[in-house]
Structure formats: C-alpha cells, structure tokens
Amino acid sequence: MNKRAFIKNMGVISAAMSAGFIRLQQAVAAVEHVPVAALAADEEFWRKVRDDYRIKPDYINLENGYYCFLPEQTLEDLIDHIRTVNYEGSYYMRTMQFENKRKVANAAAAIVGCNADEVAITRNTTESLDLVIGGIDWQAGDEAVMAEQDYGAMLNHFELMARRFGIVNKRVSVPNHPHDDNELVELYESAITDKTRLLMISHMINITGQVLPVRKIVDMAHARGVEVMVDGAHAYSHVPFQMSDLGCDYYGTSLHKWLSAPLGSGLLYVQKEKIDQIWPLFAERDLEPNDMRRLNHIGTHPVHTDLAILNAIEYQNTLGLERKAARLRYLQHYWTRQLVSVPGVVINTPVDMIRHGGIGNVGVESMGPAELADRLMAEHRIYTAAIDRPGVKGVRVTPNLYTSLSDLDALVKAVKLLSS
C-alpha cells in the first residue's frame, strides 16, 4: 500500500469511528433545548448514555476515580486501531505516528483552550508531573510547597528530590470544609519563603473531590515569585475550565480518568516560555530547547492508544462537557445531601456545589476506612476506595455517567445501616 492509499484508508477508518456515535448524537439532538441544570436530573436521557457502557452486574461500581472505563463505541474504535497498526506495522510507525500524535495534542489542548505546542501526550498524571519535579534544576536548600492531601506519587518524587539534591519540602493540610477561598490562599502563602521555587496544588483533591481556587492561589504565588504546578488528574474533562483561567506554569492530568480514554494516556502542559527550563527524563532528540516534544521522548509506545484518545474526545464533544459536568455534580449532591445530617456519618467533601464535582468522600465514625469499604462490598455489593490520609478518613465515592440514582440510593441505605 503506497502512502497516499494509506492516508486515504486512515480517513475511511475515521469516518467509520464517527458512525459509532450516531445514537448518542440523536439523543443529544433531542435535548438541545433543555437547560444543562434541568438535563442533569433527566433520568431518561442519562439512561440512554448508560446504554453506551457494558456494566458488570456483580456489584455497583462507585470507584471510577482510578480509571473511567470506556463506552463501548470508544472500546471498539480502540480495537480497530490495534488491528490497523498491527496490519501496517513499521510503515505506520515511520510515516503516520508523529502526525497523528500532533492531531491528538491539538484536540486535547483545544478542550482547555491552550496551544498544542505547550502540550505533550504522556501516559498519566504521575509521569506528567514527575517530569516537571524531576526536571527542575534544583539547588540544595530550595523549597517546595505541597499539601498532605496531594497524590502520593508526587509526594514521593519530591522526597526523592530532597534525598538527591537537598531540597526542603513543606506540607500544609487542606481543610475539608474551608470557610472561604481566602482561607486556602493564606494557608499556602503561610508556607512560602524567599527560598520557595515551586508550589504544587491539586485542581481537584483526589481523595475528597474538593475543587481549589486555583487562580487565586496562582496569583498569590506568582506575586511571591513562585512557580505553580497543578495536579489536574480529576479536573480535566470533569469540570469545564480554560488554561488561561488558571494561569499556572505546569499542569498534568490523566486522560484515562474523566475523559474515558484508554488506560495509559495522559497530558502535560508547560507554558511555552518555561519549556526550556525543564530537563527531559530521557535523552532528547535534536530539537529546539522550547520544543515540547523534547520532554516526552520515551521511545516506542502503544500508538493505538493515541488514536483512541481522539475517539474519547469525539464522544465527550458529542455529549457536551457542560452537560457531563452538571450531571456528575448532580450525582454527588444527590447522595451527599441525604447523608450530611445523619448521626455518625462524616462527609469529607465541601457541600457548596462550586467546591466539588462528581467525587465525594464519606466516613462512618464507628469504623475505619478499610472496614467501611470492605463491608460496603461484602454486605451491600458496593465498590468504593478506602481513604486513610491526614484529615480524611472514609471511602471515596466516584460515580460516572452510567451511574443511576438507584445505585446511589443503595449507597445511602448502606451507609445509614452501617452507621446505626
């Protein structure tokens, strides 16, 4: 097959991929006139979305925070991509791989309104942010600020930098129910000194679902001459935002979480003028210092995953991110409002809807997180994730678009029984 025929063949495959979304397109077209907030509570519409997923009947899956599995259309497209790349072999790898990866970067960047030349497609949030943490030219005595509630992989990498370069890590503890944004801004500011080089914050805290006032914290840090790196693992394609809204220097996320792209897909954003300040993890190719590609030269990888990211974006664009975000927030509010006043139950996520998305965390005073998670699964067939971290003792509850209100009713009933 010559190159022209191959490109034409790829176009046919792309057209076939789009055909898989006709049912969703029809469902969305029928509700275009419905306000987003009203549609969030329209169970008939979301039942049609649920039909796009193959749901395991053995238990109620309320742990989508690790991995949001694919709707069937995207899964079938991924399988097609695997077959195509396997069929084309080295020809694909040498002719189309890099152009298609640029297309993916363009589409992923468009979701948050940034330039594709500031974006690299990675394998997950850990890789994205550890590239930054490990790529800074640290000097002994430099300080980094982060929170006790941040993700363990990044905290571990900061500790590695402390052992290797002699940096000083300073941790704050984020309250689960802040009085206002100023409380959070002042908390982080209290840890900054004239030696602070980097501040890491979570856009949405992974263990509680709390959304932080990123722009206000960034502005404060920049006024003090400190760069800001944002862990967006649970915010990208979960809550709508533009990168310009945040103003951060670095941002990392996992596309296999709330975008529902295949496992092993992530994104790193670096402000254009900061790219040449970061040392790559692996030896770079002959690229300009401000070329983003130099930061994720990892060698051969599963390129079919890159192609399926485009399908995941197509699915989300068809549904609409605003509709998706409103539904996820509605689901969280649905179950937390029923438990917030129950004796013996602790909600570890802010009740104010602007401070959370779809993630919530609930604890029972009479038992530890592991026991609560085990009993929810063993006695009620509800799968959650136990969280036992500073200031957060409970289980993380992460519904997804396929989650029904009856699933959440079962959770509420189970927690009430276990807390009585």
CATH of the domain at 337: 3.90.1150.10
Element (H, E) at 330: helix 321-339
In this structure, is residue 133 part of a structural domain? yes
pLDDT at position 334, please?
Answer: 97
Which amino acid is located at 25 in the chain? Q
Span 104-140, pLDDT tens digits? 999 999 999 999 999 999 999 999 999 999 999 999 9
Cα separation values, 188 from 129, 145, 171, Å: 19, 8, 9
Mean pLDDT, residues 393-420: 98
Give, for 307, the enclosing helix (H) or strand (E): helix 303-319
Same domain, 266 and 350: no
Average pLDDT value for residue range 269-274: 96
Mean pLDDT of 292-306: 89
Average pLDDT over residues 202-220: 98
Which domain covers residue 374, as residue numbers? 322-419
**Mean pLDDT, the chain, as a whole number?**
93
Q: 5 versus 376: which is more confidently predicted?
A: 376
Q: What's the whole-number mean pLDDT along residues 183-203?
A: 98
Indicate whether 70 belongs to any domain: no
Is residue 120, in this structure, part of any structural domain at all?
yes
| Residue 337 located in a structural domain | yes
Q: Given 281, 313, 345, which residue is the final one in a domain? A: 313
Residue 254, SS3 per DSSP: strand
128 located within any domain: yes
What pLDDT was estimated at residue 15?
A: 45
Instruction: Say if residue 284's pLDDT is above 80.
Output: no
Higher pLDDT, 285 or 81: 81
4 CB-contact burial (10 Å; exposed 0-12 / middle 13-18 / buried 19+)? exposed
Rounded to 5, what percent of the chain is helix, strand, coil? 50, 15, 35
In this prediction, residue 19 carries a pLDDT of 52
Q: Are residues 288 and 347 in the same domain?
A: no
When pLDDT is cut at 50, 70 and 90, the band that residue 27 belongs to is very high
- What is the secondary structure of 234-249 as a DSSP string? TTTTTS---HHHH--S
Could you tell me the two tokens for 328? 């996820």
Residues 187, 110 share a domain: yes
- Total domains present in the chain: 2
Longest CA–CA span in the chain (Å) reads: 70
Q: How far apart are CA 147 and CA 174, in angstroms?
A: 7
Element (H, E) at 393: strand 392-397
What number is the average pLDDT over the span 173-191? 97
For CA atoms 343, 348, 354, 356, the dihedral sign is negative
Residues 176 and 302 in one domain: yes
One domain for residues 299 and 379: no
Query: How many CB atoms sit inside 10 A of residue 152's CB?
Result: 11
Domain boundary at 289, 313, 337, which? Answer: 313
Examine the domain organization and report whether 286 and 366 are in the same domain.
Answer: no
Mean pLDDT over 172-197 rounds to 98
Which CATH number belongs to the domain containing residue 133 in this structure? 3.40.640.10
- Same domain? 281 vs 329: no
- Average pLDDT of span 340-344: 97
pLDDT, position 167: 98
More confident residue, 288 or 153: 153
Q: What local confidence, expressed as pLDDT, does residue 20 receive?
A: 54
Domain boundary pick from 260, 285, 313: 313
pLDDT of residue 83 exceeding 60, the answer is yes
Q: Do residue 267 and residue 389 come from a single domain?
A: no
**312 close to 52: Cβ distance less than 8 angstroms:** no
72 assigned to some structural domain: no
Q: What is the pLDDT of residue 412?
A: 98
Determine the pLDDT at residue 116: 94
From CA 147, how far away is CA 155, in angstroms rounded? 9
- Confidence (pLDDT) at 204: 98
Do 156 and 293 share a domain, yes or no? yes
Count Cα neighbours of 228 within 13 Å in the Cβ-side half-sphere.
Answer: 26
| Cα–Cα separations (whole angstroms), residue 118 to 20, 46, 123, 214 | 31, 35, 16, 19
Question: At residue 5, does pLDDT exceed 50?
Answer: no
Kindly state whether residues 285 and 381 are assigned to the same domain. no
Per the domain annotation, does 48 fall within a domain? no
Residue 393, pLDDT > 90, answer: yes
Same domain for 213 and 147, yes or no, is yes
- Cα–Cα distance, 383 to 264 (Å, whole number): 23
Q: Please, are residues 135 and 295 in contact by the beta-carbon 8 Å criterion?
A: yes
Residues 233 and 108 in one domain: yes
Asked if residue 4 is part of any domain, the answer here is no
